[in-house]
């Protein structure tokens, strides 16, 4: 049984909605309606040492990333993060480590005016961080099931860099020093996209953050919306220098840990989106379009190319972890 079969079999059946709960299991966050112009979006993400980060990684990096992966779910909903709860398990309480960790943690929270409102603390065999984040907006979130035929498909930032850095760590390849520096920065410090996504929320149909691989995460949007897509491989933004490596296609199509946002939007909104992105200094690229045919077709130089869609699955036997 894989991760998604588990969610579908055991969790989704209990997914009943009510007048307040407009969106439950199956999206980047659940959505609660407080009143006609106030909605809360709630999501949780867990990070475990040597699964989501190297245990000898710097505490600054761990603190930043634990927040960035949660903020990216808010970005994917077009919500503004407001409050969070932090649950931790530590083998021991190491004051030096904690001083550095919370210095960064609090700096990121302060820069977004997000308040820590609770959590839980326990001793445990490995460092585990679980964050629940609550964001707000004036509308229902950007749901995965809202992609419309004819929409353009966009991605923020650059894709595949974190995966390339991981391959370097695992000794599968040897990136040049300057390439490694850029890719490692993307792995430990994914850019938070909530500002752009919040501003663009009314121009977008469906959205999701890319945590498990571009094709797999786009696949969630396509399945939920019962549509297909045509994606142009050469338009997926990445770093030119990575193209020479044999794993390049795998990094951009299936690599995870990007925490960029993939979204669909009506063609008519292109100009507004591009200008918003420019103002916010967010790299934004169109990589394809939503089609009626429910397949996801990958094109390269105007030819259909075959690919293996194998994004990240926590219960896949061959999954390599940190």
Selected from 152, 209, 257, 313, the binder of Mg ion by CB under 5 A is 209
Q: Where are the alpha helices (DSSP H) in the chain?
A: 3-6, 59-77, 95-111, 161-169, 177-188, 194-199, 214-225, 248-254, 270-279
Q: Which stretch binds Mg ion (CB under 5 A): 57-65, 73-81, 155-163, 229-237?
A: 73-81
Q: Buried (b) or exposed (e) across 3-18, using 16+ Cβ within 10 A?
A: ebeeeeeeeeeeeeee
Closest residue to ligand ADP, judged by C-beta, is: 28
Minimum CB–partner distance for residue 213 and ligand ADP (Å): 11
Measured from each CB, the residue nearest to Mg ion is 28
Q: Which of 21, 25 has the CB closer to ligand ADP? A: 25
CA atoms of 184 and 96, how far apart (whole Å): 24
Min separation Cβ 266 and ligand ADP, Å: 24
On whether the CB atoms of residues 183 and 62 are closer than 8 A, the answer is no
Nearer Cβ to Mg ion (73/260): 73
Closest CA to 152 of 231, 255, 96: 231
Q: What is the DSSP string of 62-100?
A: HHHHHHHHHHHHHHHHT-EEEEEEEEEEESS--HHHHHH
Is 258 near Mg ion (CB under 5 A)?
A: no
The residues that touch ligand ADP, with contacts defined as CB under 6 A, are 7, 11, 25-28, 45, 73, 211
Q: Toward ligand ADP, which CB reaches closer, 59 or 311?
A: 311
First to last CA, the chain: 22
Could you say which of 4, 23, 27, 28 contacts Mg ion (CB under 5 A)? Answer: 28
Task: Closer to ligand ADP by CB, 25 or 110: give it.
Answer: 25
CA dist., res. 264 & res. 187, Å (int) = 25
Q: Which does 250 bind (CB under 5 to 8 A by kind): Mg ion, ligand ADP, none?
A: none
Which residue lies nearer to ligand ADP by CB, 52 or 205? Answer: 52
Binding site for Mg ion (CB under 5 A): 28, 73, 209
């Amino acid at each position: 049984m894989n991760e998604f079969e588990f969610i579908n079999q055991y969790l989704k059946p209990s997914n009943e909605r009510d007048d307040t709960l407009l969106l439950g299991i199956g999206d980047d966050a659940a959505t609660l309606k407080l009143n006609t112009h106030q909605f809360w979006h709630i999501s949780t993400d867990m990070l475990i040492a040597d699964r989501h980060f190297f245990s000898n990684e710097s505490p600054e990096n761990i603190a930043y990333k634990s927040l960035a992966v949660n903020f990216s779910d808010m970005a994917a909903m077009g919500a503004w993060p407001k409050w969070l709860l932090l649950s931790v398990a530590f083998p021991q309480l190491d004051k030096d480590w904690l001083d550095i960790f919370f210095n960064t943690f609090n700096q990121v929270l302060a820069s977004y005016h997000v308040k820590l409102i609770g959590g839980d603390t326990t001793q445990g065999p490995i460092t585990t961080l679980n964050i629940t984040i609550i964001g707000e907006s004036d509308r229902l979130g950007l749901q995965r099931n809202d992609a419309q035929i004819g929409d353009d498909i966009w991605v923020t930032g650059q894709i595949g860099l974190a995966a390339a850095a991981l391959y370097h760590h695992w000794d599968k390849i040897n990136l040049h020093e300057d390439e490694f520096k850029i890719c490692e920065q993307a792995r430990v410090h994914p850019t938070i996209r909530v500002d752009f996504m919040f501003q663009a929320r009314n121009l977008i149909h469906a959205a999701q953050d890319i945590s498990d691989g571009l094709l797999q995460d786009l696949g969630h949007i396509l399945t939920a919306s019962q549509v297909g897509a045509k994606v142009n491989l050469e338009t997926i933004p990445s770093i030119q220098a990575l193209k020479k490596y044999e794993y390049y296609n795998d990094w951009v199509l299936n690599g995870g840990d990007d925490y960029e946002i993939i979204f669909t939007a009506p063609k008519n909104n292109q100009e507004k989106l591009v200008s918003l992105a420019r103002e916010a200094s967010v790299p934004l690229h169109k990589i394809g379009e939503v089609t009626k045919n429910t397949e996801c077709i990958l094109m390269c130089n105007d030819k259909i190319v075959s690919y293996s869609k194998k994004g990240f699955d926590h219960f896949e036997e061959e999954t390599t972890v940190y």
